[in-house]
């Protein structure tokens, strides 16, 4: 999965930078060794006590930093993004929900400050990212159990490390797991400028796959097209262009896609299906339009298309030896151990990602850890 991080370099130079909640602490030249202190340290965190509109329910709070136990790691957060799933989790619309109150944020990168006596995988100064969703990364510091963390190289861009664990991995798995694609094969996707979409473009290009990338129209469409092409996109089309009659000639010069990646739903996904090769697969991983996938009966019957779904959290669960991850081993300042549990009703769960909510939370959530 490390390749995915490196592939994000171009993305970090552009839009991502604005999206990352930079929890700049002092950039530690050398991490402090752990020493038990009589007074518990205070740290700051973005906490929600009940589900609802993030702008209303998320609060900046001072928390006590828990003592570092034998298998624990004291981490100072360096940067944490706001992903659509973070918003959904706060709203209570996600497939996994933490016990409340909870600290927001599922992704991020932190630097190890100190480790417990039985920790062997990481040492002070190392960079770490969450192993699973639900860690609660929107905080200045925390004490986590070692198994909740994955060490990562510290010589990659900070924003790449902070956004490594969800979108690039999702893109990679969807490209690998549904169709046996060979170099020269093509893939079509919508919301191609999304975090996942940009990772798809870069990973596909590295694999020799040709991509048809659909985006929503905008006044500066050429700028977006140029940027996606600079990442490795072969074609960039607007939703409107995809619907045009002339599209029937489009695949004379390149193979029809055997894989479609759907982040949107509604009409956009119907169009993706229209261009899939017979026997091809459309994988739905997001539902940004908040509309169901509509597949034409004739496409299903005469082209034998396959409709599949992908959820990274489920993939991790299915491929993990651990039965149920418990992320925050400590009480972390009065908050209950942050354990995520599957939501009983998962309909319309992880796909909904209102950008409005994201912006609002970004302004609420922006914080500087210096005391």
Ligand X SMILES: NC(=O)c1ccc[n+]([C@@H]2O[C@H](COP(=O)([O-])OP(=O)(O)OC[C@H]3O[C@@H](n4cnc5c(N)ncnc54)[C@H](OP(=O)(O)O)[C@@H]3O)[C@@H](O)[C@H]2O)c1
Contact residues: ligand X, CB under 6 A = 83-85, 166-167, 170, 191, 193-196, 216, 263-264, 285-286, 288-289, 310-312, 350-351, 353, 355
E strand or H helix at 309, and its extent? strand 306-309
Smallest separation, CB 263 to ligand X (Å) = 5
Compute the distance between CA of residue 259 and CA of residue 118 in angstroms, rounded to an integer: 46
Q: Which is nearer to ligand X, 42 or 308 (CB)?
A: 308
> 271 to each of 200, 276, 289, 362, how far by Cα in Å?
19, 9, 14, 33
Q: Residues 126, 131, 135, CA angle at the centre, nearest 5°?
A: 95
Q: Which is nearer to ligand X, 267 or 339 (CB)?
A: 267
- What is the Cα 205 distance to its own chain's centre? 20
Active site residues: 94
DSSP assignment string, 345-358: --TT-TT---HHHH
List beta partners, residue 282: 260, 307
Q: Which is nearer to ligand X, 68 or 199 (CB)?
A: 199
Compute the distance between CA of residue 199 and CA of residue 19 in angstroms, rounded to an integer: 15
List beta partners, residue 286: none
Burial class of residue 298 in the structure, from the number of CB atoms within 10 Å of its CB (0-12 exposed, 13-18 middle, 19+ buried): exposed
Smallest separation, CB 45 to ligand X (Å) = 22
Compute the distance between CA of residue 5 and CA of residue 157 in angstroms, rounded to an integer: 9
Smallest separation, CB 25 to ligand X (Å) = 24
Smallest separation, CB 217 to ligand X (Å) = 8
Do strands 20-21 and 96-98 pair parallel, antiparallel, or not at all (unpaired)?
A: unpaired
Compute the distance between CA of residue 71 and CA of residue 117 in angstroms, rounded to an integer: 7
Do strands 281-284 and 259-262 pair parallel, antiparallel, or not at all (unpaired)?
A: parallel
Smallest separation, CB 140 to ligand X (Å) = 23
Smallest separation, CB 231 to ligand X (Å) = 13
Q: Which is nearer to ligand X, 187 or 353 (CB)?
A: 353
Compute the distance between CA of residue 371 and CA of residue 44 in angstroms, rounded to an integer: 9
Q: Which is nearer to ligand X, 78 or 174 (CB)?
A: 174
Smallest separation, CB 312 to ligand X (Å) = 3
The 10 Å CB-count burial string (b at 16+, else e) for 316-336 is bbeeeeeeebebbbbbbbebe
Torsion of CA 203, 107, 25, 144, to 10 degrees: -130
């Amino acid at each position: 999965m490390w390749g995915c991080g490196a592939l994000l370099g171009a993305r970090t130079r552009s839009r991502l930078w604005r999206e990352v909640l930079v929890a700049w602490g002092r950039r530690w030249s050398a991490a402090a060794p752990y020493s038990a202190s009589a007074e518990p340290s205070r740290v700051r965190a973005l906490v929600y006590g009940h589900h609802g509109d993030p702008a209303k329910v998320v609060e900046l709070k001072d928390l006590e930093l828990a003592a570092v136990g034998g298998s624990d790691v004291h981490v100072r957060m360096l940067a944490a993004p706001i992903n659509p799933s973070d918003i959904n989790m706060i709203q209570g619309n996600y497939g996994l929900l933490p016990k409340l109150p909870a600290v927001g944020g599922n992704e991020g990168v932190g630097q190890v400050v100190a480790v417990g006596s039985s920790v062997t995988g990481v040492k002070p100064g190392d960079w770490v990212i969450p192993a699973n969703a639900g860690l609660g990364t929107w905080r200045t510091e925390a004490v986590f159990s070692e198994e909740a963390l994955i060490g990562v190289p510290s010589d990659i861009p900070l924003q790449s490390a902070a956004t490594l664990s969800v979108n690039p991995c999702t893109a990679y798995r969807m490209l690998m797991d549904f169709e046996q694609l060979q170099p020269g094969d093509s893939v079509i996707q919508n919301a191609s400028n999304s975090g996942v979409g940009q990772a798809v473009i870069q990973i596909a290009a590295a694999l020799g796959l040709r991509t048809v990338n659909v985006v929503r129209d905008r006044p500066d469409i050429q700028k977006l097209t140029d940027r996606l092409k600079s990442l490795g996109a072969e074609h960039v089309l607007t939703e409107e262009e995809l619907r045009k009659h002339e599209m029937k000639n489009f695949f004379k010069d390149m193979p029809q896609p055997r894989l479609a990646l759907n982040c949107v739903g509604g009409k956009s996904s119907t169009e993706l299906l229209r261009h899939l090769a017979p026997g091809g697969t459309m994988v739905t991983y997001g539902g940004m339009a908040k509309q169901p996938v509509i597949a034409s009966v004739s496409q299903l019957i005469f082209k034998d298309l396959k409709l599949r779904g992908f959820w990274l959290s489920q993939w991790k669960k299915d491929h993990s030896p651990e039965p149920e991850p418990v992320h925050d081993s400590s009480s972390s300042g009065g908050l209950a151990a942050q354990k995520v549990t599957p939501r009983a009703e998962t309909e319309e769960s992880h796909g909904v990602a209102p950008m409005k909510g994201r912006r609002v939370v970004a302004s609420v959530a922006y914080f500087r850890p210096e005391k």
